Protein backbone atom coordinates (compact mmCIF):
# COMPACT_ATOMS: atom_id res chain seq x y z
CA UNK A 1 0.00 0.00 0.00
CA UNK A 2 1.39 3.42 -0.92
CA UNK A 3 1.89 6.09 1.74
CA UNK A 4 -0.84 8.72 2.13
CA UNK A 5 -0.27 12.03 0.35
CA UNK A 6 0.99 15.00 2.37
CA UNK A 7 -2.51 16.52 2.24
CA UNK A 8 -3.82 13.45 4.08
CA UNK A 9 -1.30 13.40 6.91
CA UNK A 10 -1.24 14.84 10.40
CA UNK A 11 2.01 16.35 11.62
CA UNK A 12 2.40 15.42 15.27
CA UNK A 13 4.65 17.60 17.40
CA UNK A 14 5.98 15.87 20.49
CA UNK A 15 8.90 15.83 22.94
CA UNK A 16 9.43 13.10 25.53
CA UNK A 17 10.75 15.65 28.03
CA UNK A 18 7.11 16.37 28.80
CA UNK A 19 6.95 12.99 30.52
CA UNK A 20 9.17 14.39 33.29
CA UNK A 21 6.27 16.27 34.85
CA UNK A 22 5.59 14.01 37.86
CA UNK A 23 2.21 14.75 39.40
CA UNK A 24 2.58 12.18 42.18
CA UNK A 25 0.11 9.89 43.89
CA UNK A 26 -2.68 10.27 46.43
CA UNK A 27 -6.43 10.36 46.69
CA UNK A 28 -7.44 11.20 43.12
CA UNK A 29 -5.79 14.59 42.36
CA UNK A 30 -5.25 15.84 45.93
CA UNK A 31 -1.77 14.41 46.55
CA UNK A 32 -3.11 13.40 49.96
CA UNK A 33 -2.19 10.13 51.69
CA UNK A 34 -4.84 9.47 54.35
CA UNK A 35 -2.75 6.67 55.84
CA UNK A 36 -5.39 3.95 55.61
CA UNK A 37 -5.29 3.03 51.89
CA UNK A 38 -3.15 0.13 50.70
CA UNK A 39 -2.91 1.47 47.15
CA UNK A 40 -2.57 5.15 46.27
CA UNK A 41 -3.56 6.01 42.72
CA UNK A 42 -1.57 8.16 40.34
CA UNK A 43 -2.74 11.73 39.84
CA UNK A 44 -5.14 11.62 36.84
CA UNK A 45 -2.87 13.90 34.79
CA UNK A 46 0.01 11.43 34.71
CA UNK A 47 2.47 10.49 31.98
CA UNK A 48 0.88 7.08 31.28
CA UNK A 49 -2.06 8.68 29.49
CA UNK A 50 0.27 10.44 27.07
CA UNK A 51 2.55 7.44 26.63
CA UNK A 52 -0.44 5.49 25.34
CA UNK A 53 -1.42 8.24 22.91
CA UNK A 54 2.14 8.34 21.55
CA UNK A 55 2.11 4.56 21.30
CA UNK A 56 -1.23 4.22 19.51
CA UNK A 57 -0.24 6.87 16.96
CA UNK A 58 3.15 5.21 16.43
CA UNK A 59 1.99 1.60 16.25
CA UNK A 60 -1.76 1.71 15.60
CA UNK A 61 -3.46 1.56 12.20
CA UNK A 62 -3.30 5.35 11.81
CA UNK A 63 0.51 5.34 11.99
CA UNK A 64 0.97 5.57 8.21
CA UNK A 65 -0.93 8.89 8.26
CA UNK A 66 1.34 10.43 10.92
CA UNK A 67 4.52 12.46 10.48
CA UNK A 68 6.50 13.06 13.67
CA UNK A 69 8.27 16.30 14.61
CA UNK A 70 10.23 17.24 17.70
CA UNK A 71 9.14 20.17 19.81
CA UNK A 72 11.30 22.62 21.74
CA UNK A 73 10.82 24.74 24.88
CA UNK A 74 9.18 28.14 24.72
CA UNK A 75 11.21 31.19 25.67
CA UNK A 76 10.15 33.47 28.49
CA UNK A 77 9.58 36.21 25.91
CA UNK A 78 7.13 33.98 24.05
CA UNK A 79 5.18 33.28 27.25
CA UNK A 80 4.61 37.00 27.73
CA UNK A 81 2.47 37.17 24.60
CA UNK A 82 -0.32 35.61 26.71
CA UNK A 83 0.79 35.57 30.36
CA UNK A 84 1.71 38.42 32.70
CA UNK A 85 5.31 39.02 33.77
CA UNK A 86 4.33 38.65 37.44
CA UNK A 87 2.75 35.25 36.90
CA UNK A 88 5.67 33.93 34.83
CA UNK A 89 8.10 35.23 37.46
CA UNK A 90 6.18 33.33 40.15
CA UNK A 91 6.51 30.07 38.21
CA UNK A 92 10.23 30.67 37.63
CA UNK A 93 10.79 31.38 41.33
CA UNK A 94 8.83 28.30 42.40
CA UNK A 95 10.90 26.17 40.04
CA UNK A 96 14.18 27.68 41.28
CA UNK A 97 13.16 26.82 44.83
CA UNK A 98 12.94 23.17 43.87
CA UNK A 99 9.30 22.86 42.99
CA UNK A 100 7.26 20.68 45.34
CA UNK A 101 4.59 23.37 45.35
CA UNK A 102 0.84 23.06 44.96
CA UNK A 103 0.12 26.11 42.81
CA UNK A 104 -3.63 25.64 43.14
CA UNK A 105 -5.98 22.78 43.93
CA UNK A 106 -4.70 19.59 42.25
CA UNK A 107 -2.01 21.46 40.30
CA UNK A 108 1.48 20.50 41.46
CA UNK A 109 4.73 22.11 40.32
CA UNK A 110 7.35 19.46 41.08
CA UNK A 111 10.99 19.18 39.94
CA UNK A 112 10.84 18.91 36.15
CA UNK A 113 7.33 20.34 35.90
CA UNK A 114 8.24 23.83 34.71
CA UNK A 115 10.60 22.50 32.04
CA UNK A 116 7.82 20.18 30.86
CA UNK A 117 5.40 23.13 30.75
CA UNK A 118 7.91 25.14 28.69
CA UNK A 119 8.19 22.18 26.32
CA UNK A 120 4.40 21.91 26.03
CA UNK A 121 4.09 25.61 25.22
CA UNK A 122 7.02 25.61 22.80
CA UNK A 123 5.90 22.42 21.08
CA UNK A 124 2.46 23.92 20.49
CA UNK A 125 4.04 27.10 19.10
CA UNK A 126 6.24 24.98 16.82
CA UNK A 127 3.18 23.17 15.49
CA UNK A 128 1.36 26.43 14.80
CA UNK A 129 4.42 27.95 13.13
CA UNK A 130 4.73 24.87 10.91
CA UNK A 131 1.24 25.60 9.59
CA UNK A 132 1.74 29.35 9.32
CA UNK A 133 4.97 28.88 7.38
CA UNK A 134 3.07 26.81 4.82
CA UNK A 135 4.70 23.44 5.46
CA UNK A 136 1.42 21.69 6.27
CA UNK A 137 -2.27 22.22 6.80
CA UNK A 138 -2.84 19.81 9.70
CA UNK A 139 -0.76 19.66 12.88
CA UNK A 140 -1.34 18.16 16.30
CA UNK A 141 0.45 19.38 19.42
CA UNK A 142 0.60 16.27 21.60
CA UNK A 143 1.48 17.98 24.85
CA UNK A 144 1.36 17.87 28.63
CA UNK A 145 0.90 19.45 31.09
CA UNK A 146 -2.38 20.69 29.59
CA UNK A 147 -3.04 24.40 29.25
CA UNK A 148 -6.59 25.56 28.57
CA UNK A 149 -7.40 26.44 32.19
CA UNK A 150 -4.27 28.58 32.62
CA UNK A 151 -5.30 32.23 32.62
CA UNK A 152 -3.02 35.18 31.86
CA UNK A 153 -2.32 35.68 35.57
CA UNK A 154 -2.83 32.30 37.24
CA UNK A 155 -2.67 28.53 36.99
CA UNK A 156 -5.74 26.33 37.21
CA UNK A 157 -6.90 22.76 36.75
CA UNK A 158 -3.53 21.00 36.15
CA UNK A 159 -2.50 23.83 33.77
CA UNK A 160 0.45 26.21 34.10
CA UNK A 161 0.82 27.76 30.62
CA UNK A 162 -1.94 28.17 28.08
CA UNK A 163 -0.56 26.26 25.11
CA UNK A 164 -3.53 26.92 22.82
CA UNK A 165 -3.74 30.58 23.82
CA UNK A 166 -0.07 31.14 22.97
CA UNK A 167 -0.61 29.51 19.58
CA UNK A 168 -3.66 31.67 18.86
CA UNK A 169 -1.72 34.82 19.68
CA UNK A 170 1.10 33.68 17.38
CA UNK A 171 -1.43 33.24 14.57
CA UNK A 172 -2.78 36.75 15.13
CA UNK A 173 0.72 38.23 15.29
CA UNK A 174 1.56 36.43 12.05
CA UNK A 175 -1.27 37.98 10.07
CA UNK A 176 -4.33 35.84 10.69
CA UNK A 177 -7.41 38.06 10.86
CA UNK A 178 -9.83 35.76 12.65
CA UNK A 179 -9.04 32.66 14.70
CA UNK A 180 -11.58 30.11 15.89
CA UNK A 181 -10.96 28.08 19.05
CA UNK A 182 -13.24 25.07 19.49
CA UNK A 183 -12.72 23.33 22.83
CA UNK A 184 -14.31 19.90 23.36
CA UNK A 185 -12.57 19.01 26.63
CA UNK A 186 -15.17 18.11 29.25
CA UNK A 187 -14.20 21.18 31.30
CA UNK A 188 -14.69 24.80 30.31
CA UNK A 189 -11.67 26.27 28.50
CA UNK A 190 -11.79 29.22 30.86
CA UNK A 191 -8.15 30.26 30.51
CA UNK A 192 -8.27 30.57 26.74
CA UNK A 193 -11.59 32.38 26.93
CA UNK A 194 -10.21 34.80 29.53
CA UNK A 195 -7.19 35.57 27.38
CA UNK A 196 -9.34 36.71 24.45
CA UNK A 197 -12.46 37.81 26.32
CA UNK A 198 -12.21 41.36 25.00
CA UNK A 199 -11.22 40.53 21.43
CA UNK A 200 -13.39 40.26 18.34
CA UNK A 201 -10.54 38.60 16.45
CA UNK A 202 -10.92 35.30 18.30
CA UNK A 203 -14.13 33.29 18.59
CA UNK A 204 -13.85 30.91 21.54
CA UNK A 205 -16.45 28.13 21.60
CA UNK A 206 -16.47 25.62 24.44
CA UNK A 207 -18.58 22.46 24.68
CA UNK A 208 -18.27 21.32 28.27
CA UNK A 209 -19.95 19.65 31.19
CA UNK A 210 -22.10 22.09 33.15
CA UNK A 211 -19.77 22.16 36.17
CA UNK A 212 -19.68 25.87 37.10
CA UNK A 213 -16.88 27.53 39.06
CA UNK A 214 -14.66 25.32 41.23
CA UNK A 215 -12.93 27.95 43.35
CA UNK A 216 -10.59 30.96 43.27
CA UNK A 217 -8.41 29.53 40.49
CA UNK A 218 -11.48 28.99 38.29
CA UNK A 219 -13.87 31.90 38.94
CA UNK A 220 -15.60 31.56 35.58
CA UNK A 221 -18.84 29.59 35.48
CA UNK A 222 -18.84 28.58 31.80
CA UNK A 223 -22.47 29.64 31.52
CA UNK A 224 -24.19 30.92 28.40
CA UNK A 225 -24.23 34.51 29.66
CA UNK A 226 -20.40 34.74 29.73
CA UNK A 227 -20.30 36.22 26.24
CA UNK A 228 -17.19 38.41 26.33
CA UNK A 229 -16.72 42.09 27.06
CA UNK A 230 -16.20 45.28 25.07
CA UNK A 231 -15.19 44.53 21.48
CA UNK A 232 -15.23 40.85 22.44
CA UNK A 233 -18.90 40.77 23.38
CA UNK A 234 -20.52 37.89 21.52
CA UNK A 235 -17.21 36.20 20.71
CA UNK A 236 -17.17 33.78 23.64
CA UNK A 237 -19.81 31.12 23.21
CA UNK A 238 -20.33 28.59 25.97
CA UNK A 239 -22.30 25.42 25.44
CA UNK A 240 -22.69 23.87 28.91
CA UNK A 241 -24.07 20.41 28.24
CA UNK A 242 -26.01 18.35 30.80
CA UNK A 243 -24.34 15.35 32.36
CA UNK A 244 -24.68 12.25 30.21
CA UNK A 245 -24.52 14.03 26.85
CA UNK A 246 -23.08 11.61 24.31
CA UNK A 247 -22.51 11.16 20.59
CA UNK A 248 -25.99 12.34 19.61
CA UNK A 249 -26.04 15.28 22.02
CA UNK A 250 -22.61 16.52 20.98
CA UNK A 251 -23.48 16.04 17.31
CA UNK A 252 -26.63 18.09 17.77
CA UNK A 253 -24.69 20.87 19.52
CA UNK A 254 -22.16 20.94 16.70
CA UNK A 255 -24.84 21.17 14.01
CA UNK A 256 -27.20 23.59 15.73
CA UNK A 257 -24.86 25.88 17.68
CA UNK A 258 -21.21 25.56 16.66
CA UNK A 259 -21.41 25.33 12.87
CA UNK A 260 -23.83 28.29 12.44
CA UNK A 261 -21.55 30.47 14.61
CA UNK A 262 -18.48 29.47 12.62
CA UNK A 263 -20.26 30.19 9.35
CA UNK A 264 -21.00 33.72 10.54
CA UNK A 265 -17.52 34.33 11.99
CA UNK A 266 -15.65 33.03 8.90
CA UNK A 267 -12.26 32.29 10.51
CA UNK A 268 -9.03 31.97 8.55
CA UNK A 269 -7.42 29.70 11.16
CA UNK A 270 -8.83 27.13 13.55
CA UNK A 271 -7.51 25.61 16.77
CA UNK A 272 -9.28 22.44 17.94
CA UNK A 273 -8.69 21.88 21.64
CA UNK A 274 -9.29 18.22 22.45
CA UNK A 275 -9.77 16.39 25.72
CA UNK A 276 -10.95 12.81 25.94
CA UNK A 277 -12.32 13.40 29.43
CA UNK A 278 -15.68 13.88 27.71
CA UNK A 279 -15.68 10.15 26.93
CA UNK A 280 -18.16 7.76 28.49
CA UNK A 281 -15.53 6.12 30.66
CA UNK A 282 -13.38 8.98 31.95
CA UNK A 283 -12.88 9.34 35.72
CA UNK A 284 -12.80 13.15 35.50
CA UNK A 285 -15.98 13.80 33.53
CA UNK A 286 -19.61 12.78 33.35
CA UNK A 287 -20.24 12.80 29.61
CA UNK A 288 -20.76 9.87 27.27
CA UNK A 289 -18.85 10.38 24.02
CA UNK A 290 -17.55 7.24 22.33
CA UNK A 291 -15.08 6.77 19.51
CA UNK A 292 -17.88 7.28 16.98
CA UNK A 293 -18.74 10.64 18.51
CA UNK A 294 -15.15 11.87 18.47
CA UNK A 295 -14.74 10.63 14.91
CA UNK A 296 -17.82 12.55 13.76
CA UNK A 297 -16.70 15.75 15.50
CA UNK A 298 -13.38 15.37 13.67
CA UNK A 299 -15.22 15.07 10.35
CA UNK A 300 -17.33 18.17 11.05
CA UNK A 301 -14.21 20.15 11.95
CA UNK A 302 -12.48 19.04 8.76
CA UNK A 303 -15.39 20.30 6.67
CA UNK A 304 -15.28 23.65 8.47
CA UNK A 305 -11.55 24.19 7.97
CA UNK A 306 -11.72 23.09 4.35
CA UNK A 307 -14.43 25.69 3.73
CA UNK A 308 -13.12 28.62 5.76
CA UNK A 309 -9.48 28.17 6.76
CA UNK A 310 -7.75 26.86 3.65
CA UNK A 311 -7.77 23.47 5.47
CA UNK A 312 -5.46 24.89 8.17
CA UNK A 313 -6.05 23.30 11.55
CA UNK A 314 -4.00 23.05 14.73
CA UNK A 315 -5.12 20.41 17.24
CA UNK A 316 -3.96 20.85 20.84
CA UNK A 317 -4.12 18.09 23.45
CA UNK A 318 -5.70 18.81 26.83
CA UNK A 319 -7.35 16.32 29.22
CA UNK A 320 -8.40 12.70 28.96
CA UNK A 321 -7.65 10.51 31.96
CA UNK A 322 -8.73 6.97 31.16
CA UNK A 323 -5.28 5.63 30.32
CA UNK A 324 -6.52 3.25 27.61
CA UNK A 325 -9.73 4.68 26.21
CA UNK A 326 -8.33 8.20 25.85
CA UNK A 327 -5.75 6.90 23.38
CA UNK A 328 -8.45 5.15 21.37
CA UNK A 329 -10.54 8.33 21.30
CA UNK A 330 -7.59 10.41 20.07
CA UNK A 331 -7.13 7.85 17.29
CA UNK A 332 -10.81 8.21 16.35
CA UNK A 333 -10.68 12.04 16.43
CA UNK A 334 -7.73 12.10 14.05
CA UNK A 335 -9.44 9.58 11.76
CA UNK A 336 -12.32 12.04 11.54
CA UNK A 337 -10.05 15.01 10.87
CA UNK A 338 -8.42 13.01 8.08
CA UNK A 339 -11.94 12.32 6.75
CA UNK A 340 -11.14 8.67 6.19
CA UNK A 341 -13.95 6.71 4.51
CA UNK A 342 -13.98 3.90 7.06
CA UNK A 343 -12.92 3.53 10.71
CA UNK A 344 -9.41 2.16 11.11
CA UNK A 345 -9.91 1.00 14.68
CA UNK A 346 -12.94 -0.52 16.36
CA UNK A 347 -14.19 0.61 19.74
CA UNK A 348 -13.00 -1.79 22.47
CA UNK A 349 -15.88 -0.76 24.71
CA UNK A 350 -18.37 -0.24 21.91
CA UNK A 351 -22.03 0.51 22.56
CA UNK A 352 -23.09 2.99 25.24
CA UNK A 353 -26.83 3.75 25.55
CA UNK A 354 -27.81 7.40 25.16
CA UNK A 355 -31.09 9.22 25.48
CA UNK A 356 -30.39 12.62 23.96
CA UNK A 357 -33.85 14.07 24.66
CA UNK A 358 -32.80 16.29 27.57
CA UNK A 359 -29.52 17.31 25.92
CA UNK A 360 -31.40 18.43 22.80
CA UNK A 361 -33.80 20.49 24.91
CA UNK A 362 -30.87 22.21 26.66
CA UNK A 363 -29.05 22.83 23.39
CA UNK A 364 -32.17 24.36 21.85
CA UNK A 365 -32.43 26.74 24.81
CA UNK A 366 -28.76 27.69 24.41
CA UNK A 367 -29.32 28.27 20.69
CA UNK A 368 -32.29 30.54 21.32
CA UNK A 369 -30.38 32.51 23.97
CA UNK A 370 -27.44 33.07 21.64
CA UNK A 371 -29.64 34.06 18.70
CA UNK A 372 -31.31 36.66 20.92
CA UNK A 373 -28.18 38.03 22.61
CA UNK A 374 -25.20 37.55 20.27
CA UNK A 375 -25.11 40.29 17.62
CA UNK A 376 -23.57 38.22 14.83
CA UNK A 377 -26.13 35.44 15.33
CA UNK A 378 -29.31 37.51 15.44
CA UNK A 379 -30.07 37.00 11.76
CA UNK A 380 -29.05 33.33 11.55
Q: Which residues are catalytic?
A: 149
- The number of angstroms, rounded, from the C-alpha of 232 to the middle of its chain's C-alpha atoms is 21
Q: Does residue 195 contact residue 189 with C-beta atoms inside 8 Å?
A: no
Residues 6+ apart with CB under 8 A from 16: none
Q: How far apart are CA 326 and CA 337, in angstroms?
A: 17
Q: In sequence order, which ranges of 12-100 are alpha helices (DSSP H)?
A: 47-59, 76-79, 85-96
Beta pairing, strands 202-209 & 41-42: unpaired
Residues written for the chain: 380
Contact at 8 Å (CB) between 296 and 251?
Answer: yes
Q: Is 7 buried (19+), middle (13-18) or exposed (0-12) by CB count in 10 A?
A: exposed
Amino acid sequence: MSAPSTSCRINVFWHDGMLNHDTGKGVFDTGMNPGFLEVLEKHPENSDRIRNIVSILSKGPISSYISWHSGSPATIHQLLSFHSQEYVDMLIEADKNGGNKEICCGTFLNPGSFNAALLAAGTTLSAMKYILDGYAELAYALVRPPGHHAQPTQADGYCFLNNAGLAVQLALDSGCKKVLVLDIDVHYGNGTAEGFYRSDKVLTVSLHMNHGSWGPSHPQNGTVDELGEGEGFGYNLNVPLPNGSGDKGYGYAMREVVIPAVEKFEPDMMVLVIGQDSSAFDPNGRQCLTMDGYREIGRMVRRLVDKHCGSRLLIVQEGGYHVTYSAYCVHATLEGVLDLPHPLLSDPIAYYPEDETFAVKVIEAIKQFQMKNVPMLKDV
